[in-house]
Amino acid sequence: MPDDRLDARLLGMIGVILLGGLLGILNSTMAAVAIDTLAATFDTSLSTIGWTSTGFLLAVTATIPFTTWAVDRFGGKRLWLAGLALFLAGSLGAGVAWDVGALIVFRVVQGFGAGLLDPLVLILLARAAGPRRAGRVMGLMGVVLSLGPVLGPIAGGAVLAGLSWRWMFLLSVPFGLVALLLALRVIPADEPSAGSPARLDVVGLALLGPGFAAVVLALSQTAEQGAFTAWQALLPLGAGLVLLLGYAVHALRAARHAPGTPGAASGDRRTPPLIDLRLFASRGFTASVAIMGLGGLALFAALFALPLYYQQAHGHGVLAAGLLMAPLGLGGALAMPLAGQLSDRVGARGLAIGGALVAGLSALAFTRIGADTPELWPALAAFTIGLGSGCFSAPTMGSLYRALPPSMVAQGSSVLYMLNQLGAALGVAVVTLILQTTADVITGFHGIFWLVVAVIVIILAAVPLLPGRPRTQAVPAAEPARSAS
């Protein structure tokens, strides 16, 4: 019987990888609370300074498909070190930026670094854990995913209260250097994939990365303009959908000619697609990434709505509102490691159903909260939403990696991360529209959590499609498109 425990060496590697992954999440959410401060400092409009966040997000999204190919071409450790170095360069540049243009450029550089690091967190951890330990390792990663978006605003508020805005970026430099030195020591060296490396799918890269980035930009502009019908949102949305449709046609055509595919010509060496869309033929894979995308929508809707409730209904400042959000992240951070470990033994479905029910009932409780409700009750409801979300997120991620053959881990990780990002952007956009079209903040707040309830109902409907109880061996590499039952 193989040993499924996490030994000290693997735990050390997990800690170093999560430290690097936390940098991007914290920096992104810290910068979000400084928009007003930065606009006043550089004497520019909020729409212009908003590109410090939008540019970062677009760079992350556009880089993820490249990472899918590059991790096998250059090796995970080399790419991880390159991503950290790029992120550190962008952080240092943003911290010493002399005007708003320089700040936006360096934030984009940060985004390119984060676009390498974020999917690599999933890829490196999934490969190190293997199918038998996927749940517990994804649960440990979930601590970062749960706490990062909550700690960012708290840390940003604390920095702005006592230091210059520049320290929001400069503080990443010493922590990033520590993460870089530890990565050199702890992450095992790996070689690029054996044999002749696959050529880069340049056409696919030109379609997929910009296509997803354009859709995310459309959602960001929807939030800024307050309408889906604004041309600033419709133009990038149309361009993004055309690019993604073009990628689908290109990827399916390229997959038909891949070596080993029935009907492919002997000796055909066409470039394989960045992401093989036949992955979606597996109902387990499709259900996993759909649940994580919907989970991102629900989580970021709550993360966006809660501080506004505390600020507008209770009159709290940025730092106090951030601290009152902490129970949401704490609930997820407590639940995900436990649920992930348990899912390695009993599977994902039962845990995910229970977690979604808890999260849905907690969201329903928020529809009864008013302006005069003591802060204790929304804090408790936020804590149980975090618990419920953690109980369906970690098992879902674990089931995804148990169903994927090793050769498809990089592609599956990229799809998972991109859909989670898309869900988060959609959540923020819809929340903004709800708040702008309702008569008062409490009515809007209730509408947001009715949306969260509806999303969780859809998640509950998708849970039975997840893979069943863990098997002792991974799915064979020759069967990437079979359904998991």
pLDDT for residue 130: 67
pLDDT for residue 4: 52
What DSSP string runs through 161-219?
HHS-TTHHHHTHHHHHHHHHHHHHHHSPP-PPPSSSPPPP-HHHHHHHHHHHHHHHHHH
Going 156 to 157 to 162 to 165, the CA torsion angle's sign is: positive
Is 463 domain-assigned?
Answer: yes
Amino acid at 334: L
If one counts the domains in the chain, the total is 1
pTM over 0.85: no
pLDDT for residue 9: 73
Question: What interhelical angle do 51-74 and 35-42 show, nearest 10?
Answer: 110
Evaluate whether 341 touches 373 at the Cβ level (below 8 Å). no
Is 432 domain-assigned?
Answer: yes
Is 448 domain-assigned?
Answer: yes
For residue 298, the enclosing domain spans 278-473
Is 80 domain-assigned?
Answer: no
**Residues with pLDDT less than 50, the chain:** 1-3, 260, 262-267, 472-485
Is 447 domain-assigned?
Answer: yes
State how far the Cα of 255 lies from the Cα of 284, in Å rounded to an integer: 20
Is 341 domain-assigned?
Answer: yes
CA atoms within 13 A on the CB side of 277: 15
pLDDT for residue 472: 46
pLDDT for residue 473: 41
Is 264 domain-assigned?
Answer: no
pLDDT for residue 1: 39
pLDDT for residue 402: 74
Question: For position 285, which CATH number holds?
Answer: 1.20.1250.20
pLDDT for residue 191: 60
Is 295 domain-assigned?
Answer: yes
State how far the Cα of 105 lies from the Cα of 114, in Å rounded to an integer: 14
pLDDT digits (tens, 9 = 90+) for 277-329: 888 888 888 888 888 888 888 888 888 888 888 888 888 877 777 788 888 88
pLDDT digits (tens, 9 = 90+) for 331-386: 888 888 888 778 777 777 888 899 999 999 999 999 898 888 888 888 899 899 98
